[in-house]
Amino acid sequence: MIPIAKPIIGEREKQLVNEVLDSGMLAQGPKVKELEEKFAKLCGVKHAIAVNSGTAAIHAALYAIGVGPGDEVITVPFTFVATVNPILMQGAKPVFVDIKPDTYNIDPEKIKEKITDKTKAIIAVDLYGQPFEVKAIRKIADENGLKVIEDACQAVNAEYSGKKAGSLGDIGCFSLYATKNMISGEGGIVTTNNDEYAELVRRFRHHGQSEQTRYEYHDLGYNYRMTDLHAAIALGQLEKIEEYTNTRIENAKMLTDGLKEVKGIAVPVVNINVKHVFHQYTIRVDGYKLTRDELKEELHQKGIGSAVFYPKPLHLHPHFSRMGYKEGDFPVSENASKKVLSLPVHPSVTKEEIKKIIDAIKC
């Protein structure tokens, strides 16, 4: 089976993990610090603060920009639930806005009508590894006094107009979950150029204590710290992120060249000013000889893994429909959830396997 995702752990990661095991310092320590310095450099930002998941990163980012009870935060229903749960964790209200049908990212045209005097921020997701429409969203945010949180959990090393993911909003959030483009097993990183936000995130991950004055509790915080063991894995990955990214882009190009003429298959649309890092290579199955689900099954029979991200938009789950959302509210997201299919694109997929995937869909 060609899997839809496959973590690559090499000798270098093992060596770095062993260094930590031998050091006796397993919790947050020098490896976390080194990761933060190197990751900030990669993203071209002043601060990177490591936490223990992408969810924690988004939670900390919301806290740092001051989102709390009574506030509203605009985001999309076509994303992983972890984009939205932290809004609820801060006692605020998620307000959904539909996506664009071609890139699956937030539709700037639809944001204005959702802004109220309670709106505090927009969480823009770089879905599948493609940055959101930064210029349009920044303009809306500036005109309305809103902050922009970039959910870059799927987009390490992506770019918009030459600027790196993680630097595209006021604060950025990454996940190092085991299937992401760069991994630590579980893990997350917050990025920002804002000194105050960075200090608030550092406190938030450590029970409200500042790193300078321990056992002084400034505010509510959590144990969101990353361990040096996880940071060691991430440091090994960071050394290979350029190579991994380039292989994903090459694989995506090969898939697109092979599939773009197939009737009923829409290949991913990449905006001209972005570097899409293909966390997922997602086709739209619409008017093909099989339905999306039939194609998924047929690929499975032929030994090809595929996956649907995401089979039901968030507003149709009980967790959110309880808030009054219903079918028909976000038609572009609802339609996408019925048609999208992600194919293996990760760096372990060989060129022969890519040919096999193309042939399986073409025939």
Ligand X SMILES: Cc1ncc(COP(=O)(O)O)c(C=O)c1O
Q: Enumerate residues 169-198 that contact ligand X by CB under 6 A.
A: 175, 177, 188
Question: Least Å distance between CB 150 and ligand X?
Answer: 11
Q: Residues 9-48 vs ligand X: string with x where CB under 6 A?
A: ----------------------------------------
Q: How far is CA 194 from the centre of its chain?
A: 21
Measure the CA–CA gap between 65 and 146, rounded to whole angstroms. 10
> For residue 82, what are the CA distances in angstroms to 37, 257, 280?
26, 33, 17
- Decide: helix, strand or coil at residue 238: helix
| Binding residues with ligand X: total (CB under 6 A) | 14
Sign of CA dihedral 318, 319, 323, 327: negative
Question: What x/- string results for residues 118 through 157 when contact with ligand X is judged by CB under 6 A?
Answer: -------x-------------------------x-xx---
Minimum distance of ligand X from residue 221's CB (angstroms)? 18
Q: What is the DSSP letter of 82?
A: G
Contacts of 299 (CB under 8 A, 6+ apart): 305, 306, 343, 357, 360, 361
Among the listed residues 54, 94, 172, 313, the single contact to ligand X using CB under 6 A: 54
Instruction: Say if CB 187 and CB 180 are below 8 A apart.
Output: no
Which residue's CB is nearer to ligand X, number 86 or number 108?
A: 86
Quick check: 221 binds ligand X (CB under 6 A)? no
CB of 183 to ligand X, least distance (A): 10
Return the SS3 of 62: helix
* 255 vs 314 by CB, closer to ligand X: 314
β-partners of residue 190 are 49, 173
Indicate the residue among 60 and 259 with the shorter CB distance to ligand X: 60
First and final CA of the chain: distance in angstroms?
19
Q: Most distant CA pair in the chain: distance in Å?
A: 66
Residue 359 CB, shortest distance to ligand X, in Å, is 30
- What is the nearest approach in angstroms of ligand X to the Cβ of residue 356? 27
DSSP string, 12-33: HHHHHHHHHHHHT--SSSHHHH
| Residue number, 187 or 236, with CB nearest to ligand X | 187
Closest distance of CB 175 from ligand X, Å? 3
Q: Which is nearer to ligand X, 181 or 251 (CB)?
A: 181
Phi, psi for 50 (deg, rounded to 5):
-80, 140
55 binds ligand X (CB under 6 A): yes
- From residue 79 to residue 118, what is the string marking binding to ligand X with x (rule CB under 6 A)? xx-xx-----------------------------------
Structure tokens at 155: 């987009």
Find the helix or strand (DSSP H, E) in which 276 lies. none
Smallest gap from Cβ 342 to ligand X, in A, equals 12
- If binding is defined by CB under 6 A, does position 53 make contact with ligand X? yes
Which residues make up the interface to ligand X (CB under 6 A)? 53-55, 79-80, 82-83, 125, 151, 153-154, 175, 177, 188
